[in-house]
Each structure stands twice: as C-alpha cells, then as structure tokens.
Amino acid sequence: MKIDDYRLLTTLDETKTLRKAAEILYISQPAVTQRLKAIENAFGVDVFIRTKKQLITTTEGMMIIEHARDMLNRERLFLDKMQAHIGEVNGTISIGCSSLIGQTLLPVVLNLYTRQFPNVEIQVQVGSSEQIKANHRDYHVMIIRGNKMMNLSNTHLFNDEHFFIHPKNRNDEVEKMPFIEFQADPIYINQIKEWYGNQIGQDYHAMITVDQVATCKEMLLNGVGVTILPEIMMKHLDREQFEFQRVDIDDKPLIRSTYLSYDPSMLQLPQVDSFINLMMEYVE
C-alpha cells in the first residue's frame, strides 16, 4: 500500500462520493474507482458499499480506514521530524481547539506565532472539546476545556469563573426572559441547571439553544434573553447595560479549566515546542 492509497481511502470516507474525492485529490473519477478496486482486492474485502447516493463504509472498511489514518499520521510525524533536523522552525503543526478558545485566545496567539515562525504551515480544527478529544490522534496539540485528557501531558492554562448576565433595565422580567444555552457537555449544563433552579426559583428550561458561545453572546447583546457566560467571553460587555451575578455551586465559584494537551513526544518537533512555549508566555 502506498501513502496515496491511504489518502484516497480517508478522503472517500470523509466525502462519501467518488466524484468529490476525485475533485479533492485532482485525479479522474475512473482512476479513483480503479484504485479503490485494487485496494479492496489487496485486502480481500469491500471497504465501501456503493449506493446511488453515497458510499457506506463497511465494518471491515472502518478498520482499514482507521489503519490508513494511523499511517498518514505516522508519515506526517516522520516528515516533521525530518524538517526538524534542518534547524529552522518549519514543517506543519496541527491544532485541535475548543470552539470558545478558537473564538477568543487562539487568533491572538496565532498572530504572534505566524510573525515569529512564518515558515510553519498551520492546520486548525475547531469544535467542541469532546469532538477534539475524540479525534486527538489527528493533532499535534489540543486546547480543550473541562477535564484533562488521559495518557497525555496536560498543561493548565487558566480557569474561568461564570456569570449570570441580564439587562439592567429588565431586572423585574428576568424570570420571564428566555434563557439562551450554548452547546456544552452534560455535566457542565447540569451545574448551570442546578444554580438556575436555586437562584431564580423556577425550573431551568433553555428556550433558545445555539451551537456556539459567540452566538449566545450576540443574542444577549441584542436583548434576546439572559444567559450564563464564562469569564473569557465577557470582554466588551457594558457593565452599565448589564447586571452580572457570579455563579456559585456549594458556595464555590463554578470553574471551567482550559488545558494544552499533547503527547510528550511531540515536543521533539520545534514548531510544536515553539507553539506551546508561546501560548504559555501569552497566558502568563
């Protein structure tokens, strides 16, 4: 099997169609079909079930594609190590990042990083911390919130307190205003529910749910409802316009921690080591 064959398999798994995979890989669709047949013959199993609408990955195919991703990661790591021996900070760094950090801290740090290390190619995947953790093998380094990752190095960056926020001019309507909830892990949401029930005196019910905390903040700014935000998202909120109440659970502030998580072996790569050092310097 060649590296190009592994890349073909992962691309087909992601796009689910021969046509899209051909476009991404800049080869003809008949060539994709021919190579896929050769791969399936080599393994002695069908990797995909062909339907009119899309490709469906078989059980055996899932195992093969997982192997393909592992081989591509090994190849990338090898190439990065080769680049490291040249002496200059270059190569590629792949970063998996929590959506909240991707909207706040990461752009600032990457601005500094690209100025200092202009020859490094940067790949960023932003999503929920749970999504990033589930795909941790795809990244050199991750910035996650909540719990540490098992079997990896976890460098603590900072803690966020949380605040219940509502418009000052609608103090008497707080109980009636819609609560805006952003996507987060169930334990975190349950803590918010507990606080809301105790403080507001009624059952928690999110009337509006959004996938991004930035959207939640924008709705708050436009008077749509009330919400609870982590401290990092409270920049530019007018204290003359909004009321802030710290969220305490059992007389202690509700805290959400942010970590840099990575395999220690990744520190052998100058571009990764430089990014981690720069991030630590910035948050300090």
CATH at residue 74: 1.10.10.10
- Please tell me whether residues 129 and 169 are part of one structural domain: no
List all residues 6 or more positions away from 237 whose beta carbon is below 8 Å from its beta carbon: 165, 217, 221, 244
Q: What is the pLDDT of residue 124?
A: 96
Please check whether residue 233 is in contact with residue 217, taking contact to mean a CB–CB distance below 8 angstroms: yes
Decide: 264 and 151 in contact? Cβ < 8 Å.
no
* Statement to judge: residues 66 and 103 lie in one domain: no
Residue 201 pLDDT exceeds 90:
no
3-state secondary structure 157-187: EEEECEEEEEEHHHHHHCCCCCEEEECCCHH
CATH number at residue 196: 3.40.190.290
Query: Are residues 70 and 23 part of one domain?
Result: yes
Residues 62 and 177 reside in one and the same domain: no
CA-CA-CA-CA torsion for 7, 8, 11, 17, nearest 10 degrees? Answer: 180
- The secondary structure element, H or E, covering residue 244 is strand 242-246
Do 56 and 104 lie in a common domain?
no
- Please name every residue paired with 95 in a beta bridge, in sequence order, or none if there are none: 124, 141
Residue 83 has pLDDT above 80, yes or no: no
Q: What mean pLDDT is predicted for residues 190-197?
A: 89
- Final residue before a domain boundary, out of 32, 60, 85: 85
Together in a domain, 129 and 71: no
Identify which has the larger pLDDT, 200 or 65: 65
* Residue 264 and residue 178 share a domain: no
* Among candidate residues 85, 119, 150, the one where a domain is terminated: 85
* Count of domains for the chain: 3
Q: Specify whether 123 is located in the same domain as 60.
A: no
> What count of other Cβ atoms lies within 10 Å of the Cβ of residue 99?
21
pLDDT given at position 84: 63
Determine the Cα–Cα distance for residues 121 and 144; give it in Å rounded to an integer: 21
Q: How far, in Å, CA of 271 to CA of 92, rounded?
A: 7
Which of these three, 85, 109, 142, is where a domain ends? 85
Per residue in 135-159, pLDDT (tens digit) is: 998 999 999 999 999 999 999 999 9
pLDDT tens readout for residues 120-129: 999 999 988 9
Domain residue limits at 275: 91-158+257-283
Neighbour tally for 239: CB within 10 Å: 9
Q: Are residues 152 and 264 in the same domain?
A: yes
Pairwise CA distance, residues 157 & 160, whole Å: 10
9-41 residue pLDDT tens: 999 999 999 999 999 999 999 999 999 999 999
Return the structure tokens found at 29.
């669709």
Residues 166 and 154 in one domain: no
Averaged pLDDT of the chain: 90
Same domain, 77 and 188: no
Query: Do residues 206 and 230 both lie within one domain?
Result: yes
